[in-house]
Amino acid sequence: SQTIHQWPATLVQPVGSPLSLECTVEGTSNPNLYWYRQAAGRGLQLLFYSVGIGQISSEVPQNLSASRPQDRQFILSSKKLLLSDSGFYLCAWRTGDRAQPQHFGDGTRLSIL
C-alpha cells in the first residue's frame, strides 16, 4: 500500500532563517505531488504541485519554492523565512487520474519567531 511521510512534524524557526520541509511517498511511482499551507482556522491554500521530476507549478507568488529531485520526493524551501510563513504545511499525492483523491501527510506545524 502507499504511504506518505512528512517531516519534521513541528518546527520553530527565527525570521530570516532558511527552511526545508521534506515529503516522500512510498508504494507508487510517478505520483502527482502537492504542497498546501493552512493558516490557523482557515482552509487549504495550494502552494505548489508537480506532475513529474523537475516539473514544478507555482500557484501563488511568495517567499517559498519547491523542488522534486526524485520521483517520490517533494521539498518545500525558503531562503529567508518571514513571519507570514507561519502555518500548517501539508503534503499530498495522487495518481495522474483526476478521478482519484489526494492523500495527505500528517503535516508540519511551522512557527516563525
Partner 1 sequence: AQSVTQPDIHITVSEGASLELRCNYSYGATPYLFWYVQSPGQGLQLLLKYFSGDTLVQGIKGFEAEFKRSQSSFNLRKPSVHWSDAAEYFCAVGAYSSASKIIFGSGTRLSIRP
Q: Which residues bind partner 1 (CB under 8 A)?
A: 6, 32, 34, 41-44, 46, 49, 51, 57, 88, 90, 92, 94, 96, 98-99, 101-107, 109
Task: Write a three-state SS string for the chain.
Answer: CCEEEEECCEEEECCCCCEEEEEEEECCCCCEEEEEEECCCCCEEEEEEEEECCEEEECCCCCCEEEEEECCEEEEEECCCCHHHCEEEEEEEECCCCCCCCEECCCEEEEEC
Q: Which is nearer to partner 1, 59 or 79 (CB)?
A: 59
Q: CB 66 → partner 1: shortest distance, Å?
A: 13
Q: Which is nearer to partner 1, 11 or 46 (CB)?
A: 46
Q: Which is nearer to partner 1, 76 or 90 (CB)?
A: 90
